[in-house]
């Protein structure tokens, strides 16, 4: 016993692990005749141990806090257990984001070595002791960043018939499985994607979104989609994303120089996107003047990826009235299926200074004060005239609930309504690229094929701005002229295809 006590008095004493830092406290032995060098080494070891304890206490408290927040996020989604692979993704993401804090510059090379060994040992302890259920790597705040976020390989994809555009289906899939009878199919370029927030909130159903992206825009888009899915539950749950890339504008670098991971969710999505777009190289900011926007490619991509019987094809800034998907699901489920019936949603412009109208009564009130008007009334009245807005408003006032107000009696050239239809309608002709006749060509063919257009009451869509008459840019003038020439040829093709005796 005496020998054992003497031995114990001549060594360092080690206690049980600290519950937070996971490090064992050490009481260093002080030799009876301690030299100056021994004393300095002992004090330096105490200093390193103290710093290491404080560092890992702060580090692990941060880890536990983020883990609990992550578990709560999963709990809100109804997920209570994660696999070991999923958990490893959480650990990796946390360590990747905090690795820079592990660098130490205060100590000598010898102390660096000691501390590095301690850090590796503590990482091992942390991973062992904190191996619990936690995460899904795509929906909450700890998602893999940049190039691995979208599920695509640029070497895959699908070319269009002229190898001008390469498309990628389902690069991000909505959490919520498609339900109901109708899906909203929409499209845009990256700079207009902020509208998806209000669109998803109002629609309240499945959304298939096709985005045209050029070069390094791809990686800025990934960062923005991460922000949207992290901060807006409706986007995360309902929106599935698809991509289209121009053949001569594939990305050269591997990632953007900007990240949205640390941005608070209360930031305006318009401002977040604007800040991202400012980071783009000047060459990418000007590419649209040289590359016509393939609207019909994107409309086909979005609509054909809808997993429901019906689709409503819109542009990204055309917002449906509140809970439109729910109303349409009820309406369509109660009607016998009509293979050649399409249902028009009247479209208005609402001044940007006012709140979005929640129902037809609010819309008509805004219209009476000059804060709402028919879509394209000032810039191109023929675009919507056959809808007959006055009949729609009268029917909406007279009868409650979603119902058919009236039929569009005959086709008028340039008519471009937004409508719900079965997915058996003709595809959008992808020869029409850029400005002019893109939607019009498809509606023209539908009338030739004897589809019936019926206007719905007590539901509508709107654009949150007043369109103004502007002088077309040179490149738009060129695109319009090219599409007009193509449209004249297209009408002859349609007449032959549907055995028409004359052009519509």
The 10s digit of each residue's pLDDT in 53-71 is: 888 888 788 778 777 777 7
Q: What pLDDT, in 10s, does the model give residues 300-344? A: 999 999 999 999 999 999 999 999 999 999 999 999 989 999 999
Task: Express each pLDDT in 414-435 by its tens digit.
Answer: 999 999 999 889 999 999 999 8
pLDDT at 100: 52
Average of per-residue pLDDT values in the chain: 83
Close Cβ partners of 196 (under 8 Å, ≥ 6 residues apart) = 186, 188, 207, 209, 228, 235, 239, 316
Q: Check residue 3 and give its pLDDT.
A: 46
Identify the CA nearest to 372 among candidates 381, 363, 380. Answer: 363
| Angle, CA of 439, 443 and 446, to the nearest 5° | 145
Q: What is the DSSP letter of 207?
A: E
What's the pLDDT at 380?
A: 83
| C-beta of residue 160 within 8 angstroms of C-beta of residue 297 | yes
What pLDDT sits at residue 19? 82
Residue 32 reports pLDDT greater than 80: no
pLDDT at 148: 57
C-alpha separations of 181 from 308, 344, 425 in Å: 5, 16, 16
Structure confidence at residue 147 (pLDDT): 45
Centre a 10 Å sphere on the Cβ of residue 244 and count the other Cβ atoms it contains: 26
Residue 255 clears pLDDT 60, i.e. is over it = no
pTM over 0.85: no
Q: What is the pLDDT of residue 204?
A: 92
* Residue 151: predicted pLDDT: 86
pLDDT value of residue 497 = 94
Q: What is the mean pLDDT of residues 244-252?
A: 85
Edge-to-edge strands of the sheet including 347-350?
A: 318-320, 461-463, 347-350, 372-374
Over the stretch 126-136, which tens digit does the pLDDT of each residue have?
555 454 333 33
Dist CA 354 CA 369 (whole Å): 11
pLDDT confidence of 104, banded at 50, 70, 90?
A: very low
pLDDT at residue 311 in the model: 97
Name the most confidently modeled range: 73-87, 95-109, 150-164, 183-197.
183-197
Higher pLDDT pick, 124 / 184: 184
- Among 180-184, 256-260, 481-485, 490-494, the least confident range: 256-260
pLDDT band at 166 (very low <50, low <70, confident <90, very high): very high
Q: What percent of the chain has pLDDT over 90?
A: 52
More confident of the two residues 472 and 230: 230
At 140, the pLDDT band (50, 70, 90 cuts) reads: very low
pLDDT of residue 23: 84
């Amino acid at each position: 016993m005496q020998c054992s006590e003497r031995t114990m008095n001549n060594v360092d004493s080690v206690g049980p692990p600290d519950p937070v830092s996971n490090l064992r406290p050490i009481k260093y032995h002080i030799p009876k005749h301690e030299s100056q060098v021994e004393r300095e080494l002992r004090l330096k070891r105490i200093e390193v141990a103290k710093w290491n304890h404080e560092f890992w206490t702060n580090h692990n408290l941060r880890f536990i806090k983020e883990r609990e927040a992550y578990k709560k996020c999963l709990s809100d989604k109804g997920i209570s257990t994660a696999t070991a692979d999923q958990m490893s993704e959480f650990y990796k993401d946390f360590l990747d984001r905090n690795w820079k804090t592990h660098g130490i510059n205060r100590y000598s090379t010898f102390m660096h070595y000691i501390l590095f060994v301690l850090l590796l040992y503590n990482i091992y302890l942390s991973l062992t002791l904190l191996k619990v259920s936690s995460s899904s790597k795509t929906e909450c705040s700890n998602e893999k960043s940049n190039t691995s976020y979208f599920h695509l390989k640029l070497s895959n994809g699908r070319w269009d018939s002229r190898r001008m555009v390469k498309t990628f289906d389902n690069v991000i899939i909505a959490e919520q499985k498609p339900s109901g009878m109708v899906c909203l199919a929409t499209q845009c370029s990256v700079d207009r994607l902020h509208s998806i927030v209000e669109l998803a909130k109002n629609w309240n159903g499945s959304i298939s979104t096709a985005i045209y992206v050029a070069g390094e825009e791809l990686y800025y888009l990934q960062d923005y989609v991460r922000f949207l899915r992290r901060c807006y539950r409706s986007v995360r749950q309902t929106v599935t994303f698809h991509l289209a890339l121009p053949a001569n504008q594939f990305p050269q670098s591997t990632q953007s120089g900007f990240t949205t991971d640390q941005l608070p969710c209360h930031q305006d999505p318009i401002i977040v996107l604007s800040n991202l777009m400012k980071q783009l190289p000047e060459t990418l900011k000007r590419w649209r003047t040289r590359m016509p926007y393939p609207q019909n490619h994107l409309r086909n991509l979005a609509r054909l990826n809808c997993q429901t019987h019906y689709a409503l094809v819109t542009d990204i800034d055309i917002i449906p009235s509140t809970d439109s998907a729910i109303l349409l699901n009820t309406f369509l489920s109660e009607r016998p299926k009509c293979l050649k019936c399409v249902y028009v949603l009247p479209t208005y412009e609402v001044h940007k200074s006012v709140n979005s109208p929640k129902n037809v009564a609010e819309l008509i009130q805004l219209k009476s004060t000059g804060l709402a008007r028919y879509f394209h009334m000032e810039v191109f009245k023929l675009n919507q005239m056959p809808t007959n807005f006055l009949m729609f408003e009268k029917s909406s006032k007279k009868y409650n609930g979603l119902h058919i107000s009236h039929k569009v009696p005959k086709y008028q050239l340039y008519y471009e309504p937004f409508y719900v239809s079965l997915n058996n309608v003709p595809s959008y002709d992808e020869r029409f690229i850029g400005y002019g006749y893109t939607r019009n060509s498809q509606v023209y063919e539908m009338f030739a094929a004897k589809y019936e257009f019926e206007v719905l009451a007590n539901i509508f869509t709107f654009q949150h701005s007043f369109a103004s008459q502007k002088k077309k840019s040179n490149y738009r003038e060129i695109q319009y002229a090219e599409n007009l020439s193509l449209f004249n040829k297209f009408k002859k093709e349609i007449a032959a295809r549907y055995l028409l005796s004359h052009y519509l």
